[in-house]
Amino acid sequence: MSKRGSEEPLDWADLVPLIVHKTKLIILEAMLWIDEPLSAVDIERMGGHKIGTSSLSYHLRGLAYELPVLDLYDEERVRGAWRKLYYFRSRTPASKRKA
């Protein structure tokens, strides 16, 4: 049995994907890459992943309300539905930053 102080440190790079849902990681990576508020439809249209808008919406809400990572940035009416844009809680979108 090893003593607590002599244990090897956690390898966070290996641990995070096991704990955090893959769809949430995809959302966060897309937002970091684009650096602007995004909706579920925006992320779906970025392609490459076969994730539907309902699943993306679910995980966006989770990142905004269960984990305080994102905020609901804006809402707009689009053909009778609400388009909800999310962005990082503690960041300013690239288009809103002063040069």
Domains of the chain by residue range: 11-92
Taking 90 as the threshold, does the pLDDT of residue 13 lie above it?
Answer: no
Q: 11-92 is classed in which CATH architecture?
A: Orthogonal Bundle (1.10)
What is the pLDDT confidence band of residue 16, given thresholds at 50, 70 and 90?
confident
- Give 3-state DSSP helix, strand, coil % of the chain, rounded to 5: 45, 20, 35
pLDDT in tens, 27-77: 999 999 999 999 999 999 998 778 999 999 999 999 999 988 999 999 999
Q: Give, to the nearest 10 degrees, the angle between helix 22-34 and helix 53-61.
A: 80
Output the pTM of the full model.
0.78
- For the chain, the straight-line distance linking the first and the last C-alpha, in angstroms and rounded, comes to 56
Share of the chain above pLDDT 90, in %: 64
Supply the mean pLDDT for the chain: 88
